[in-house]
Amino acid sequence: MRKKVTVVGAGQVGGSCARRLAERDYADIVLIDIVEGLPQGKALDILQAAPIVNYDSDIIGTNDYADTAGSDLVVITSGSPRKPGMSRDDLLAVNQKVITAVTGEIVKHSPDCIIIVVTNPVDAMTQLAWKVSGFPTNRVVGQGGVLDSARYRTFLAQELGVSMRDITGYVLGGHGDQMVPLPRYTSVSGKPITDFIAPDRLEEIIQRTRDGGAEIVNLLKLGSAYEAPGAALVEMIDAILLDQKRVLPCAAYLEGEYGISGVYVGVLIQLGAGGVEQIVDLDLTAAESALLNQSADAVRELVDVMGI
Ligand code: APR
C-alpha cells in the first residue's frame, strides 16, 4: 500500500511540495486548506499531469480533516508568508494561531504520523507543533537547514563553476538570519572550500545565503520562495518514508547536545522511518558554538513570547 501524505496549506510551498512528491510516485497525497476550492483545484491540476509525467500517485484536495485520516506523514505549510519588509518574527502571532489549530486536527486524525513543519518562524513553529501534538520529539521536525544549505551550495557551485552535486556543505542554527555557517565542513568533492575561495568572498556568499529568503521576497514582491522550499521538503519526506537514514540539517529538539536543552534548533540529524533517529553531535569551535547558542536563545525568546 502506498504511503499517505497530507500537505496542510495548498499555497505556493504546499503546491510545489505536493507536485514534486506526486512525481516521486510512491505516495498518495491529500492537500488541505481553509480556502474552499484551492486545494481541490490544485490537486486536480497535479493529477491531470500524471499521464504526461508518468505517475500513479493519487492526489485529492479537501477542506475536511476527515480525508487526512491515517496519514503517515503530515507537512504543515499553512500560515501567512513573509511580506516585503516583514521579519519572520513578525509572523509569530499570526502563525501561532494557525499552527495550534492545524496541529490539533492532525493529531486527532493521524495520531501516529510524523510532522514536518515549514511555517515561519520555523524553529519556533516546530516547537509549538510538538507541544500541541504531545508527540515524542522524534516525530516532529522542522525544515530550514535543508533549504539554507541548498542555497549555500548553489551559490558556491555558481562561484566556482562546478556541478552543484559536487559541493558538500551545510549550515546549522536558525533558518535564515540566525543561520550558523560551517565552512570547515564545506568541500568540493572532499577538498576544503577554503582552498578555492578567499575568506572575504566566502563571507559574501554566506551573507547572501543568510539573506536568501529576503532576496526572493524582494524580487517576487507578492510572496516568498516556494520552488526550493518544496524541493527541500521532498528531500526530507523521501528520507523518512523511504527510510533513507539521510544525514540532513533540520530543526530538531535538543536535550543537552551542544550544551543546549529544551528547544528546537537547526542541527544535523539522521532522518529515517523513525523520524529524527539521531542528533549528530558535531565538533564545533567556540565561535561556531556561540552562534548556535545565539540561535537557540532566539528560538527560546519566541517560545517565551508564545507562552508555551
Ligand atoms: N488551515 C489550513 N490552511 C491554512 C490555514 C489554516 N488554519 N491558514 C492559512 N492557510 C493556508 C492559506 O489559505 C494558504 O493557501 O495556508 C496557505 C499558505 O500558502 P501561501 O500563502 O501561498 O504561503 P507559502 O508561500 O506557501 O508559504 C507557506 O512557508 O515560507 C513559509 O512562513 C512561510 O508560512 C509560510 C509558509
Predicted pLDDT at 170: 95
The pLDDT tens digits of the residues spanning 111-126 come to 999 999 999 999 999 9
Confidence of residue 65 (pLDDT cuts 50, 70, 90): very high
**Residue 148: is it exposed, middle or buried by C-beta count within 10 angstroms (0-12/13-18/19+)?**
buried
Predicted pLDDT at 178: 87
Please give the distance, rounded to the nearest whole angstrom, from the Cα atom of residue 98 to the centre of ligand 1.
9
Return the ligand 1 atom nearest residue 91 CA: 32
Please give the distance, rounded to the nearest whole angstrom, from the Cα atom of residue 34 to the centre of ligand 1.
9
Please give the distance, rounded to the nearest whole angstrom, from the Cα atom of residue 263 to the centre of ligand 1.
24
CA distance 266 to 305: 20
| CA 148 to each of CA 35, 176, 180: distance values in angstroms, whole numbers, following the listed order | 29, 7, 10
Return the ligand 1 atom nearest residue 223 CA: 25
| Alpha helix (H) residue ranges in 118-243 | 122-133, 145-160, 199-210, 212-220, 227-241
Q: Which residue, by CA, sits nearest to atom 25 of ligand 1?
A: 12
Return the ligand 1 atom nearest residue 97 CA: 7
Active site residues: 175
Predicted pLDDT at 88: 62
The pLDDT tens digits of the residues spanning 143-199 come to 999 999 999 999 999 999 999 999 999 999 998 788 999 999 999 999 999 999 999
Pocket of ligand 1 (CB under 6 A): 8-14, 33-35, 38, 77-82, 91, 95, 98, 101-102, 118-120, 223-224, 226, 229
Q: Which CATH architecture has domain 3-142?
A: 3-Layer(aba) Sandwich (3.40)
Pocket-testing residue among 13, 20, 222, ligand 1, by greatest number of atoms within 8 A of Cβ:
13
Set of cell numbers at residue 283 = 565538533
Pocket-testing residue among 7, 12, 95, 122, ligand 1, by greatest number of atoms within 8 A of Cβ:
12
Within the chain, all domains assigned CATH 3.90.110.10 are found at: 145-306
Predicted pLDDT at 84: 65
* Residue % of the chain over a pLDDT of 70: 97
The pLDDT tens digits of the residues spanning 67-110 come to 999 999 999 999 986 666 776 667 798 999 999 999 999 999 99
CA distance 235 to 240: 9
DSSP-derived pairing of the beta strands 171-173 and 191-192: unpaired
Within the chain, all domains assigned CATH 3.40.50.720 are found at: 3-142
CATH entry 3.40.30.10 includes domain 145-306: no
The pLDDT tens digits of the residues spanning 216-267 come to 999 998 888 999 999 999 999 999 999 999 999 999 999 999 999 999 999 9
pLDDT at 48 exceeding the cut of 90: yes
Please give the distance, rounded to the nearest whole angstrom, from the Cα atom of residue 85 to the centre of ligand 1.
18
Return the ligand 1 atom nearest residue 13 CA: 26
Please give the distance, rounded to the nearest whole angstrom, from the Cα atom of residue 67 to the centre of ligand 1.
19
